[in-house]
Amino acid sequence: MANADLSKPSLEEEARIIDSLIDNGRSAIKVFSTTDQSRVDEVVTALAWSLYKPETAQRLAEMAVIDTGIGNVKDKVIKNQRKTFGTLRDLMRVRTVGIIEPDNGSGMTKYGKPVGVVAAITPSTNPAATPVNKSMMAVKGGNAIIIAPSPAGWGSTNATVQEMRAALKLVGAPENLVQILPQPVSRTLTRLLMEKADLIVATGSQNNVRSAHTSGTPAIGVGAGNVPVVIDSDADFDDAATKICASKTFDNSTSCSSENSLVILDDVYDQAIEALKRAGGYLANEAEKQSIADTLWIEGKLNRHLIAKDADIFAVGAKLPSEAGNSRFFMVEENEFDPNSLFVDEKLSLVVTVYRAKNFDDAVKRVTDILDVQGKGHSCGIHTNTPAHATRLAEEIDVVRVLVNQAHTFGNGGSFNNALNFTLSMGCGTWGGNSISENLNYKHFINITHLVTSVEEDKPTEEELFGRYFEKYGRG
C-alpha cells in the first residue's frame, strides 16, 4: 500500500488517493454489514491477536523505537500487549450490532449501526498500539477505518496495518476494513481524509485535534496531558514513590498520563523526597535545574534529542553529573508557582517538577494552577489514606479522571483493577476542548436507532411536578 515514489503528489492526485481509500472503506462496510455480533467479535479478536502475538508485539516495538527515536522497546512491548488485551476484554463484553438493548418493558429497543468510515489520527508515541486500539473499536461497530499516522511513525504504523490486514484476510473479512494513508503523509492529505470521512478520532498533537474540529466532519479529539499528583501527609511514601517511578519511567514518559508534577504536603516533604530518591529519583540542585532548563527546551520548544530518552542519555544531554545517569528519573524543585516557568508544562521526558504545599488547601490550589497552564480536563492523582481528600479533588478540580493511590500511566487509560475503559485516547471534556468526558471506547463508534412503541402513560399531575415550587413561591 506504500508509494515507492515519495515525491509530493499534486492536490488532484491526493484527492484521488483519498477518494479511493474512502470508496474501499465503504465497500468493505457493505460486505461486513451482513455479519452478526458473534462474527464481528471474531474479527475484532483477529485484529487484537495481530498485535498481541508476542513476536509481533516485539518486532513492532523495535520498529517504533527505530522509526521515532522515542520510548524504549521493553515498555512498548508491554503497551502493545496490555492495551490490546484490556481493550479486547472490554469489547467482548458489549453488543454493538443488531439489537444492543432489548425492550424490557420500557417501550424502546436499541439497534447499533456503523458510523461509517473513520479517520483515525495517530501519534508517533504509539505507532502500533494506538492504531490497533482504534481499529478494534471501529470494527467492533461495523465500521471501516483509515489510519493517518504521524510521518515519523509511518513505517511501524504501516507494518502494524499490514499485520491487521493479514489477520482480516485470514478470517475471511474484508481487508479494507483497515487502511493507511500512503507516504508521504502530508497535512493536505490528512486534511482531505478528515473532510471525506464520516467520523474523525484524533489523538496526538493539539494542532491535529483543532484541525479535526474545523474539518466539517464530526470529530472526537482528546486533550493535552500534564498530570499533577498530590502526595498527602498520610500517604504510604514508599508505595507512592514506587508507583510514581514505575509510571513516570514507563516508555520513557511518552504517555500523556505520565506524572509531570508532584505536589507534596509540607509536613512530610522531606520524607516523601527521600522515598522518591530510594525509588530511583535524582534531585537536581539549582545549577543542575538550570542546565536541564537550558537543554530540555530549545527556543521554548522541547528538544527532540532529549524527550522520551533513557535516563543515562538524558543525563549526558542535560550536562548532569555522572551519578545522575544511574538514576531512573529527575526531580526539579519549584519554590514558588510561576505560570511562565517551563517546568509547569508537560515535559515528555523523565523530568518531574516538585512543589511544596503548605496544607491541603494549598495543594488543591497548586493542582488547579498547574492545570490552568496546561492539561485542564485531563486528569490528576493523589496518594493518600484520607478518602475525603480524594473526594475533594473530584469535587473541585476540573478533570475527567482523579486516580487514587495508583500508578497514573497504568491506571488512567484503563486497568484491570479499576473501572476505566482501556484506551489510548483520553477525552478531557469541554475543559480540554473535547466533546467527550470519558475514555474513548466502543460507544463512540456506533450510531443508535431507537425503536419506540407505546407504553402505559407516564404523566404526573401538575401538583406532583410544581407542588413544592408553589408552596415556596406561590403561583404568581
Tell me the β-bridge partners of 146.
Answer: 119, 179
What is the spatial order of strands in the sheet that 117-122 belongs to? 178-180, 144-149, 117-122, 199-202, 219-221
Residue 118's beta-bridge partner residues? 145, 199
Using alpha carbons only, give the angle 430, 433, 434 rounded to the nearest 5 degrees. 75
CA angle 364–423–379, rounded 5-degree value: 5
State phi, psi for 119 to the nearest 5 degrees. -95, 120
First and final C-alpha spacing in the chain: 72
- Cβ distance 131 to 177 under 8 Å? no
* DSSP, res 246: H
> Do 271 and 234 touch, CB atoms closer than 8 A?
no
Q: Do residues 379 and 408 lie in contact, with contact meaning Cβ atoms separated by under 8 Å?
A: yes
Interacting residues of 316 by C-beta distance below 8 A, sequence separation 6+:
325
Output the CA torsion sign for 357, 358, 359, 361. negative
Cell of 338: 510561576
What percent of the chain is helix, strand and coil (3-state, nearest 5)?
50, 20, 35
161 in Cβ contact with 129 (< 8 Å): no
- 337: nearest Cα among 360, 307, 306, 358: 358
Q: Which one, of 179, 125, 145, 163, lies nearest residue 48 by Cα?
A: 163
251 closest CA partner among 78, 468, 414: 78
Question: Does residue 256 carry a catalytic annotation?
Answer: yes
121 sits in which H/E element: strand 117-122
Which letter does DSSP use for residue 156 in this model?
H
How far apart CA 200 and CA 245 sit, in angstroms, is 35
The catalytic residue among 245, 256, 380, 428 is 256
The residue among 418, 410, 413 whose CA lies nearest residue 428 is 413
E strands, 154-286, in order: 178-180, 199-202, 219-221, 227-231, 259-265, 281-283
Amino acid at site 109 = T
Q: What residues act catalytically?
A: 256
